[in-house]
């Protein structure tokens, strides 16, 4: 038998017609599509009607294509490498049909701050919770969101998915009907991809850099972000802040931060004009976000931060009910920047000093009462009880300027009253700083650690045990920080984990750095001690050590710039300057903000001029003259006269020599650089 193969005829593919009559479609029967009446309808005596054939609806794929943006964003959050960001920014270009807004639109005009805060009252509307189950990747697989370890908020990061090896030959599964609900992320905030990226950056990067506590969620995500859902000014302020932070890191957005800033300013002015029908929280949130923006951008010697804070104070003073969580959080942000701005600019704070013990720690929403971070404030850390002292300290420079003005104008009685107030306040502040101790969380005590060379002792935290509790009072920092406030009881339920303890260590050292830098500010700027005075060098050294410990524990660094700057300006030994360099490097790498870079430039110039003055003084002591020292003196006398007047110094007080020796050299250098640095 001859065997042979015969090719089978190909099967006729079954094609489902979409042009059948309505009767056959309803019964799901095959229709021969005979017109005017098909065979099935003619056989059964049914009415045969045909509908117009609708074109096929193809699934939109633009949302899938936008995932690459968020994958890059996730990679960026893990790496924090500017080089990677630049590579992504250069290699990935998308065309949304939106025009480039490199500068502000013609319709967006610059508005003066003085023109905004003119009316008294202002309400917007509801919030929109963020909740997404997952995201569809390029290979059509659903990947669940991954929670950040330090936050349990509903705003989540997207994990990176690797392309499978058989992606080119594997069959493509059908898309999920939930696709349109899962993608793209943050769709409810904007239809534009680049703006959704800014919301993503604000939630998953920026908001984590400016708070101390977020074990149950980030307050900027929980309280501020929902306000932007129906509030244009708040939303544009968020866009401006996130875009400015990315621009400093080298990542360019389709729309520039200045465009969003101008839009936010314009919308804020319109909201204030509305009056009593606007919720105060929307106005206050937009203002405080603009304060964060101005501090981050640092545009020249502008006083716009002070103008925004004055507007925020007006809003808070006219608010009838500010006891909700959002209002309290925004008020705490105002109090922080009110003091920091006064210390930065040498002006008096706008608000009155809070009474001792009235600033209770502000926790995130849904925080457990027995949390290991119980005594940690969201924005002030463990320095909540120190903040009233800092508030009074920030007012001393302007009080001294007022005193000097009264003396120069021969107002004898007023000068006597101001002198008494000035002396009493400064002495009370010194006593309060000496006695201040951090409020520790439960089941944590202060211990004394010793550096490798055994030369120095710094306070640190440890889990409470009966033995450590017995020695808690004696385990104080060398400058007087004790362990009172530590919770009683042995280690048990509610004790912090090792990760939480490391975060607490960083927060503690941050607060201690504030305490010692406050001493430096008091002795150098207020008491006008010489830079080589033992008290100045002792507290500057300890402040720098605490700053280094803060960054070493990899905890929050958002409020560290002021104590680091004040202590670094007084560093004279190479060891102390090495500490300052390390702390500045770590904080700039972590935070990535303009004011940190500007502050470091000022510190480096302060060191250079201080060294030049020391060398010239040494040469003069040997009987030789120094032309460079004469040049420095003349330059300082000319360029620093305005700064002297702002600080209340006159020729009768020793002129520029006292100005340079009173801890104010950095203000002259900032003026020469054309910047006003707010150390927030």
Assign residue 156 a region: left if phi > 0, alpha if psi is -120 to 50, beta otherwise?
Answer: beta
Which pair of tokens denotes residue 62? 């633009």
Phi, psi angles (nearest 5°) of residue 462: -150, 155
**What local confidence, expressed as pLDDT, does residue 29 receive?**
86
Cβ–Cβ under 8 Å, residues 88 and 77: no
Q: Is pLDDT of 378 > 70? A: yes
Give the CA dihedral 189, 193, 199, 204, nearest 10 degrees.
130
The answer to whether residues 518 and 655 belong to one domain is no
Question: With bands split at pLDDT 50, 70 and 90, how would you rate the model's confidence at 20?
Answer: confident
**What local confidence, expressed as pLDDT, does residue 384 receive?**
93
208 vs 35, residue with greater confidence: 208
Give percent of the chain with pLDDT exceeding 70.
64
Q: How far apart are CA 275 and CA 622, in angstroms?
A: 70
Average pLDDT over residues 137-142: 39
The answer to whether residues 89 and 156 belong to one domain is yes
Most confident of 36-40, 274-278, 474-478, 548-552: 548-552
Q: Where are the alpha helices (DSSP H) in 522-654?
A: 534-552, 561-569, 574-591, 594-621, 627-639, 641-646
Average pLDDT, rounded, for the chain: 74
Structural domain boundaries enclosing 468: 440-555
Question: With bands split at pLDDT 50, 70 and 90, how would you rate the model's confidence at 5?
Answer: low
**What local confidence, expressed as pLDDT, does residue 208 receive?**
94
Asked whether residue 70 is domain-assigned, the answer is yes
Buried b (16+ CB within 10 A) or exposed e, 581-614: eebbebbbebbbbbbbebbbebbebbbebbeebe
Q: Is pLDDT of 423 > 70? A: yes
Q: Is pLDDT of 370 > 70? A: yes
Q: Is pLDDT of 164 > 60? A: no
Q: Which pLDDT tens digit goes with each residue over 278-303?
A: 888 999 999 999 999 999 887 776 77
The answer to whether residues 515 and 607 belong to one domain is no
The answer to whether residues 26 and 152 belong to one domain is no
**What local confidence, expressed as pLDDT, does residue 570 receive?**
95
Phi, psi angles (nearest 5°) of residue 54: -80, 140
Cβ–Cβ under 8 Å, residues 135 and 158: yes
Q: How far apart are CA 109 and CA 360, in angstroms?
A: 41
Instruction: Among 555, 574, 602, give the residue marking a domain's end.
Output: 555
Q: Which pLDDT tens digit goes with each residue over 563-574?
A: 999 999 999 999
Q: How far apart are CA 591 and CA 210, in angstroms?
A: 9
Q: Which residues pair with residue 458 across a beta bridge?
A: 449
Question: With bands split at pLDDT 50, 70 and 90, how would you rate the model's confidence at 464?
Answer: confident
The answer to whether residues 109 and 209 belong to one domain is yes
| Residue reference for tokens 């209002």 | 327
Asked whether residue 541 is domain-assigned, the answer is yes
Average pLDDT over residues 649-657: 42
Q: Where are the alpha helices (DSSP H) in 346-395?
A: 387-394
The answer to whether residues 676 and 648 belong to one domain is yes
Q: Which pLDDT tens digit goes with each residue over 595-649?
A: 999 999 999 999 999 898 887 766 555 444 344 334 433 443 343 444 444 444 4
Most confident of 29-33, 169-173, 477-481: 29-33
Q: Is pLDDT of 200 > 80? A: yes
The answer to whether residues 472 and 535 belong to one domain is yes
Asked whether residue 605 is domain-assigned, the answer is yes
The answer to whether residues 203 and 106 belong to one domain is yes
The answer to whether residues 44 and 73 belong to one domain is no
Q: How far apart are CA 324 and CA 88, in angstroms?
A: 42
Q: How many domains is the chain partitioned into structurally?
A: 4
Q: Is the peptide bond before 184 cis (omega within 30 degrees of 0)?
A: yes
Q: Which pLDDT tens digit goes with each residue over 231-251?
A: 999 999 999 999 999 999 999
**What local confidence, expressed as pLDDT, does residue 623 receive?**
44
The answer to whether residues 255 and 294 belong to one domain is yes
**In terms of C-beta density within 10 A (0-12 exposed, 13-18 middle, 19 or more buried), how is residue 366 classed?**
exposed
Asked whether residue 5 is domain-assigned, the answer is no
SS3 618: helix
295 vs 453, residue with greater confidence: 295
pTM of the entire predicted model: 0.69
Give percent of the chain with pLDDT exceeding 90.
40
**What local confidence, expressed as pLDDT, does residue 337 receive?**
95
Q: How far apart are CA 563 and CA 543, in angstroms?
A: 7
**What local confidence, expressed as pLDDT, does residue 33 receive?**
85
Q: Where are the alpha helices (DSSP H) in 146-279?
A: 179-182, 193-201, 207-209, 219, 232-248, 257-274
Distant-in-sequence, close-in-space partners of 304: CB < 8 Å, separation ≥ 6: 113, 294
Q: Which residues pair with residue 444 across a beta bridge?
A: 463
Asked whether residue 665 is domain-assigned, the answer is yes
Which pair of tokens denotes residue 244? 């400015």
The answer to whether residues 467 and 540 belong to one domain is yes
Asked whether residue 539 is domain-assigned, the answer is yes
The answer to whether residues 79 and 213 belong to one domain is yes
Cβ–Cβ under 8 Å, residues 584 and 564: yes
**What local confidence, expressed as pLDDT, does residue 487 receive?**
33
Asked whether residue 338 is domain-assigned, the answer is no
DSSP 653: G
**What local confidence, expressed as pLDDT, does residue 381 receive?**
93
**What local confidence, expressed as pLDDT, does residue 112 receive?**
55
Which pair of tokens denotes residue 351? 């608000």
Q: Is pLDDT of 347 > 70? A: yes
404 vs 54, residue with greater confidence: 404
Instruction: Among 274, 307, 340, give the residue marking a domain's end.
Output: 307
**What local confidence, expressed as pLDDT, does residue 212 receive?**
93
**What local confidence, expressed as pLDDT, does residue 277 receive?**
74
Question: With bands split at pLDDT 50, 70 and 90, how would you rate the model's confidence at 504?
Answer: very high
Q: Which pLDDT tens digit goes with each residue over 27-68?
A: 888 888 888 888 888 888 888 888 877 666 554 444 333 334
Asked whether residue 614 is domain-assigned, the answer is yes
Q: Is pLDDT of 174 > 90? A: no
- Taking Cα atoms as reference points, which of 560, 609, 613 lies closest to residue 585? 560
C-alpha angle 218-224-228 in degrees, rounded to nearest 5: 135
124 vs 471, residue with greater confidence: 471
Distant-in-sequence, close-in-space partners of 186: CB < 8 Å, separation ≥ 6: 130, 196, 199, 200
């Amino acid at each position: 038998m001859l065997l042979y193969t015969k090719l089978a005829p190909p099967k006729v593919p079954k094609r489902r017609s979409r042009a059948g009559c309505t009767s056959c479609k309803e019964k799901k029967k095959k229709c021969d599509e005979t017109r005017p009446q098909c065979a099935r309808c003619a056989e059964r005596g049914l009415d045969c009607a045909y509908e117009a054939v609708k074109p096929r609806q193809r699934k939109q794929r633009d949302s899938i294509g936008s995932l690459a943006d968020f994958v890059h964003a996730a990679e960026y959050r893990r790496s924090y490498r500017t080089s990677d960001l630049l590579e992504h920014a250069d290699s990935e270009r998308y065309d949304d049909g939106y025009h480039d807004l490199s500068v502000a639109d013609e319709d967006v005009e610059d508005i003066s701050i003085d023109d905004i805060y003119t009316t008294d009252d202002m309400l917007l509307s509801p919030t929109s919770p963020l909740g997404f189950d997952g995201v569809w990747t390029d290979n059509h697989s659903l990947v669940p969101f991954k929670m950040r370890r330090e936050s349990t908020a509903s705003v989540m990061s997207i994990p990176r998915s690797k392309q499978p090896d058989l992606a080119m030959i594997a069959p493509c599964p059908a898309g999920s009907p939930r696709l349109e609900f899962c993608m793209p992320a943050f769709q409810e905030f904007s239809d534009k991809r680049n703006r959704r990226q800014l919301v993503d950056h604000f939630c998953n990067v920026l908001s984590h850099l400016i708070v101390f506590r977020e074990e149950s969620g980030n307050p900027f995500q929980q309280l501020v972000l929902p306000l932007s859902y129906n509030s244009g000014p708040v939303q544009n302020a968020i866009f401006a802040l996130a875009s400015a932070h990315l621009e400093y890191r080298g990542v360019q957005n389709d729309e520039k931060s200045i465009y969003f800033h101008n839009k936010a300013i314009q919308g804020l002015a319109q909201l204030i004009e509305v009056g009593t029908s606007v919720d105060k929280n929307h106005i206050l949130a937009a203002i405080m976000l603009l304060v964060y923006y101005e501090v981050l951008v640092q545009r020249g010697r502008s006083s716009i931060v002070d103008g925004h804070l004055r507007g925020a104070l007006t809003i808070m003073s006219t608010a009838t009910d500010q006891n909700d969580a959002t209002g309290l959080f925004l008020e705490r942000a105002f109090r922080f920047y009110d003091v920091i701005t006064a210390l930065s600019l040498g002006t008096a704070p706008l608000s009155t000093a809070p009474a001792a013990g009235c600033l209770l720690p502000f926790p995130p929403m849904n925080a457990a009462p027995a949390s290991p971070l119980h005594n940690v404030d969201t924005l002030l850390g463990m320095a909540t009880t120190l903040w009233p002292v800092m508030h009074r300290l920030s007012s001393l420079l302007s009080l001294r300027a007022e005193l000097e003005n009264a003396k120069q104008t021969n107002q004898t009685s007023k000068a006597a009253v101001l002198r008494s107030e000035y002396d009493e306040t400064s002495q009370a502040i010194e006593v309060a700083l000496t006695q201040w101790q951090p409020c520790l969380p439960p089941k944590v005590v202060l211990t004394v650690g010793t550096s490798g060379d055994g030369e120095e002792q710094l306070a640190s935290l440890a889990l409470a045990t009966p033995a450590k509790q017995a020695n808690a009072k004696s385990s104080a920092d060398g400058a007087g920080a004790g362990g009172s406030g530590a919770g009683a009881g042995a280690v048990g339920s509610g004790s912090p984990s090792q990760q939480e303890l490391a975060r607490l260590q960083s927060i503690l050292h941050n607060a201690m750095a504030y305490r010692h830098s406050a001493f430096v500010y008091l002795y150098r700027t207020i008491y006008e001690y010489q830079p080589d005075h033992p008290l100045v060098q002792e507290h500057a050294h300890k402040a720098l050590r605490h700053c280094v410990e803060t960054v070493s524990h990899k905890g929050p660094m958002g409020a560290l710039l002021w104590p680091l700057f004040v202590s670094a300006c007084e560093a004279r030994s190479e060891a102390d300057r090495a500490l300052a360099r390390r702390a500045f490097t770590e904080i700039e790498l972590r935070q990535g903000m303009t004011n940190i870079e500007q502050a470091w430039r000022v510190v480096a110039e302060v060191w250079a001029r201080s060294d030049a003055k020391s060398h010239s003084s040494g040469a003069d002591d040997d009987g030789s003259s120094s032309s460079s020292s004469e040049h420095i003196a003349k330059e300082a006398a000319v360029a620093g006269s305005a700064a002297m007047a702002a600080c209340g110094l006159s020729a009768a007080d020793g002129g520029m020599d006292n100005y340079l020796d009173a801890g104010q050299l950095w203000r002259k250098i900032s003026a020469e650089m054309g910047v006003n640095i707010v150390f927030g």
